[in-house]
Amino acid sequence: MHTRYREILAFETKDGSEIRELMHPATHGNAAQSLAEAVVEPGTATLLHRHARTEELYHVTRGQGEMRLGDTTFTVTAGDTVCIAPGTPHNIRNNGTEPLHILCSCSPAYSHDDTELL
């Protein structure tokens, strides 16, 4: 399996972020996880949400933001990685001046049905 970034169309997820599904079982045929790039524009945030089944890893590749993970809020910058356990409320706000780019790895793969807005 192989994808090219420039050929993947962006869409908006249930939490309000712009996503490119770099690899997803429903589209590409891989088995158990998904990998996407999320872009959060300056001054905006994703909606607070949680996933009942999915564990997520966020890896910040560009920009800076403020991550809410349960009752904790902390700064994230390029090079930081965050593990989001199933059931944990979370969102991210871009408090910088450039777009915030995040690689999002989900296992099992991302699903709108597993996303509960809070």
**Cα separation values, 77 from 64, 81, 105, 116, Å:** 4, 9, 17, 26
Q: What is each CA distance from 98 to 40, 62, 101, 113, in whole angstroms?
A: 9, 8, 9, 31
Between residues 42 and 13, the one the model is more confident about: 42
Tokens of 53: 């089944």
State the pLDDT at residue 94.
Answer: 97
Q: Would you state the structure tokens that stand for residue 49, as one six-digit string?
A: 């949400």
The pLDDT assigned to 80 comes to 98
Q: Which has the higher per-residue pLDDT, 53 or 16?
A: 53
Does domain 5-117 correspond to CATH entry 2.60.120.10?
yes
What are the tens digits of pLDDT across the range 53-103? Answer: 999 999 999 999 999 999 999 999 999 999 999 999 999 999 999 999 999
Q: Which pLDDT score, from 0 to 100, does residue 118 have? A: 94
pTM score of the predicted model: 0.90
CB atoms within 10 A of CB 53: 12
- Residue 111 — φ and ψ, nearest 5°? -145, 135
